[in-house]
Amino acid sequence: MEDHDDNGEVLDEAMNEDMVKETIDIQMVDINKSLDQVEKALEKIEEGTYGICEETGEPIDIARLEAYPEATTTIDA
């Protein structure tokens, strides 16, 4: 009966490791997406177009940029 318990523990540990790896993969996708957005914002600063909505051409509200500096559109766009 002890072998059965050991196998269950090994299986539980393997499942936990898989869940951790999956969570890390999801987080890495989010981190890479955020990094891309920040790099895009930095390019816009260099171009002189930071803070201008990509869709409407209108200025993005300062409060929005303070809360979400990598914003590329106004809230209404």
The predicted model scores a pTM of 0.66
Full 3-state SS string of the chain: CHHHHHHHHHHHHHHHHHHHHHHHHHHHHHHHHHHHHHHHHHHHHHHCCCCECCCCCCECCHHHHHHCCCCCCCCCC
* Ordered per-residue pLDDT tens for the chain, 77 residues: 445 567 778 778 888 899 999 999 999 999 999 999 999 999 999 999 999 999 999 999 999 999 999 999 999 87
